[in-house]
Structure 1
Amino acid sequence: MSSYLSIENIDKRFERNGLSSHVLADVNLQVARGEYISIIGHSGCGKSTVLNIVAGLIDSTNGAVILDGKEVKGPGPDRSLVFQNHSLLPWLTVYENVALAVDKVFKHGKSKAERQEWTLRHLDMVGMSHALNKRPSEISGGMKQRVGIARALAMEPKVLLLDEPFGALDALTRAHLQDEVMRIQSELHNTVMMITHDVDEAVLLSDRIVMMTNGPAATIGEILDIDLPRPRDRIALANDARYNGYRQAVLSFLYEKQRKVEDIGQHRARGQESASVKKQA
């Protein structure tokens, strides 16, 4: 597999008040152009830290991120990020929220008419052409996420980064938006990296699932290839043996990691209790 996005020997430590927190240790991942990658793991395992390093929002302590042959040195339009919170500007309309990003990225590459057409095209792609003049307060949560995805795609990024983009939505809206993302990705062949806590979502959407170990010093524990034909139908896959096998593999990994954390916690608690008893004696 030729590498389009390369995460190489990433280490991350946070320093605060003289104390060091080792969040990530020796994270390595190679992503092919057009691949859909999901990163899953327990809370606090550094998933979002990996995503933010790829986005250029924070620096790694050691290691590097290489995208299309160039090292990532900070934020840039070649990587667009969709948060769990839509992050739309409340005083702008749906159209204006997307147009703002388009004008910023393509000011010198497209005419005003071309930028307008580009903005409208991407809003139509996510089914939001009917709400161009509405403000975020006037549309639903699912619609806000559609606009956020349209804005990210309109920047024509080399990598689309999704940080639990469906986590705050109800089940029906989440399922519909997942289907839309699959459709769009099949049309545009985007390279996508997504953070999720949802095992079913990871199996449904991904080409590979990256499973993180628990922190501190979290790293990649396993990578699972999802060999399911596209386009994928969630109803048809519900009784598919391969789908359920992948789902079971991810759940088993997560369960095993959680069990180890609980065992360590109980061991420490017993140690502290024993030390307290000896001190009292």
Structure 2
Amino acid sequence: MAKAYLSIEGIDKSFSRGPATTEVLKDISLTVDKGEFISIIGHSGCGKSTLLNIVAGLTPATSGAVLLEGQLVDEPGPDRAVVFQNHSLLPWLTVYENVALGVDKVFRRRKSAAERRDWTMFNLELVHMGHARDKRPSEISGGMKQRVGIARALAMEPKVLLLDEPFGALDALTRAHLQDQVMQIQATLENTVMMITHDVDEAVLLSDRIVMMTNGPSARIGEVLEVPLERPRRRLELVNDATYLACRAAVLKFLYERNRFVEAA
């Protein structure tokens, strides 16, 4: 039996403050295939971002393990790139310099200076930000900043792209445009993606599977939903699609009804 590309095995996570200990995550196990797009959805406080940070190597698990291609994940690394809701661009650097910083760090020994320049521009063009290469973050919109953040993450050629509510702070139209871009990029590059979201429609539109978390504390995986929609997906065509609507209804049902029973079990 082939090993999973990304394997989350029996993860528990507790935080302690003085004598008090809070269990945030309980027995989280999940396998992710190469090239798969997974969304994790649940109410605020259910530990979604904590789980993402454990996979990123930013937060240690209390028990359990994360394996990527069979290797233990216990610290940050360029094989896992994170895009946060807040773009986290360095304000004193240009758009180009923000992306080039990561490229130079990861590829200094593997690519020449000219190759690194070309690779930086390739990734900016991928998110349609090549025209703004010389602008600073204060000179571009929120949606453009997120595009640069995505370009910076992709430019590291990560094995897994981790998205922590990357569109949460954007207006609806900008959000829709970026969702479409992420779908196009994933279709082109066949990235493995794990995304945290509160948005049911976003999860159904983008994902191959949706992981639904029960309410915290001691949040668990309550249900995993397959999204059997063919790709490429076009949002306007899906508005009245029976499969899309069924998946959407299943997630809403879990979030607003079933998770109460899971908690009580």
- 1:243 partnered with 2:212: no
Deviations, residues 207-228 of structure 1 (Å, cap 9, x unaligned): 0000000111101000000000
* CA deviation after TM superposition for structure 1 residue 260, in Å: 6.0
Paired position in structure 1 for 2:201: 200
* CA deviation after TM superposition for structure 1 residue 17, in Å: 1.3
**Hey, what's the Cα distance between the residues in 2 that align with 1:2 and 1:195?**
24
TM-score by length of 1: 0.91
Paired position in structure 2 for 1:108: 109
**Hey, what's the Cα distance between the residues in 2 that align with 1:167 and 1:122?**
22
Paired position in structure 1 for 2:49: 48
Give % identity. 71
**Residues 214 and 257 in structure 1, CA contact (< 8 A), matched pair in contact too:** no
Higher alpha-carbon Rg: 1
Instruction: Name the Cα RMSD after superposition.
Output: 1.4
* CA deviation after TM superposition for structure 1 residue 258, in Å: 6.4
Paired position in structure 1 for 2:125: 124
Task: Look up the SS of the partner of 2:104 in the other structure.
Answer: helix
**Hey, what's the Cα distance between the residues in 2 that align with 1:8 and 1:29?**
7
**Aligned pairs (5 A) from 1:92-103:** 92-103=93-104
Runs of 4+ in structure 1 displaced over 4 angstroms? 257-261
Unmatched 5+ residue regions in structure 1? 265-281
* CA deviation after TM superposition for structure 1 residue 69, in Å: 1.2
Task: Look up the SS of the partner of 1:121 in the other structure.
Answer: helix
TM-score by length of 2: 0.97
**Alpha-carbon distance change, 29 to 259 in structure 1, aligned in 2, over 3 angstroms:** closer
* CA deviation after TM superposition for structure 1 residue 73, in Å: 1.4
**Residues 88 and 136 in structure 1, CA contact (< 8 A), matched pair in contact too:** yes
**Residues 214 and 259 in structure 2, CA contact (< 8 A), matched pair in contact too:** no
Deviations, residues 124-170 of structure 1 (Å, cap 9, x unaligned): 00000110000000000000000000000000000000000000000
Paired position in structure 1 for 2:156: 155
Paired position in structure 1 for 2:91: 90
**Hey, what's the Cα distance between the residues in 2 that align with 1:45 and 1:14?**
13
**Aligned pairs (5 A) from 1:156-175:** 156-175=157-176
**Hey, what's the Cα distance between the residues in 2 that align with 1:161 and 1:152?**
9
**Residues 222 and 259 in structure 2, CA contact (< 8 A), matched pair in contact too:** no
**Hey, what's the Cα distance between the residues in 2 that align with 1:102 and 1:19?**
43
* CA deviation after TM superposition for structure 1 residue 257, in Å: 5.0
Paired position in structure 1 for 2:80: 79
**Residues 12 and 64 in structure 2, CA contact (< 8 A), matched pair in contact too:** yes
**Residues 2 and 32 in structure 1, CA contact (< 8 A), matched pair in contact too:** no
Paired position in structure 2 for 1:25: 26
Paired position in structure 1 for 2:221: 220
**Hey, what's the Cα distance between the residues in 1 that align with 2:152 and 2:227?**
28
**Hey, what's the Cα distance between the residues in 2 that align with 1:21 and 1:12?**
9
Paired residue type of 1:229: E
**Hey, what's the Cα distance between the residues in 2 that align with 1:68 and 1:107?**
24
Paired position in structure 2 for 1:189: 190
**Alpha-carbon distance change, 222 to 259 in structure 1, aligned in 2, over 3 angstroms:** closer
- 1:230 partnered with 2:228: no
Task: Look up the SS of the partner of 1:244 in the other structure.
Answer: helix
Paired position in structure 2 for 1:254: 255
The count of residues paired between Structure 1 and Structure 2 equals 263
